[in-house]
Amino acid sequence: MSLEAAAAPHVHTIGVEPIAERLATYRTTAIAWDALSGDPAKANKVFVDLHRMYKSLRDTEAGRMGIARLMDDSAVAVRLTAAAHSLFWSPERAERVLRAIQDDPNAGLHAVTAKYTLKEFHAGRLSHDW
């Protein structure tokens, strides 16, 4: 154990970066993805980065719970991605968040994404292992 880890045992880490920092990056990346929605090529590249972050965070309980907490974020894109990613460990709560986004008349394309995420999840076709 490193001196830093021994001095702060309450700080969970993935690799060398604390989970709190990884979650903050996950959040800002989801917001960036949303901001780039008018440029699909750029948005897709950012989404791939977001997906990589999700895959590293899901490997620990602290990472999964951190993503789940983001389902309460003020930004709809963050709630959407966090809920979609949380479906496999917090399905009831994630479904409530996705349904709220789906039913929100101001959610735009995110409402459609939420709808089809739920549809694929219920059909057993949703996978985050790409």
Quote the CA–CA distance of 66 and 71 in Å, as a whole number: 9
CATH code, 15-122: 1.25.40.70
Share of the chain above pLDDT 70, in %: 88
**Buried b or exposed e, range 58-77, using 16+ CB within 10 angstroms:** beeebbbbbbbebbebeebb
Burial tier of 30 (Cβ tally within 10 Å: 0-12, 13-18, 19+): buried
6: pLDDT confidence band, cut at 50, 70 and 90? very low
Of the candidates 58, 105, 60, 61, the one whose C-alpha atom is nearest the C-alpha of residue 85 is 58
**Mean pLDDT score, 69-93:** 98
Q: CA-to-CA distance for 75 and 96, rounded, in angstroms? A: 16
Given this model, what pLDDT does residue 128 score? 81
Residues 6 or more apart from 12 whose CB is under 8 A from it?
A: 18, 19, 20, 60, 62, 63
Domains of the chain, residue spans = 15-122
**Three-point CA angle 97, 51, 46, nearest 5°:** 100
What mean pLDDT is predicted for residues 74-101?
Answer: 98
- What mean pLDDT is reported for the chain? 89
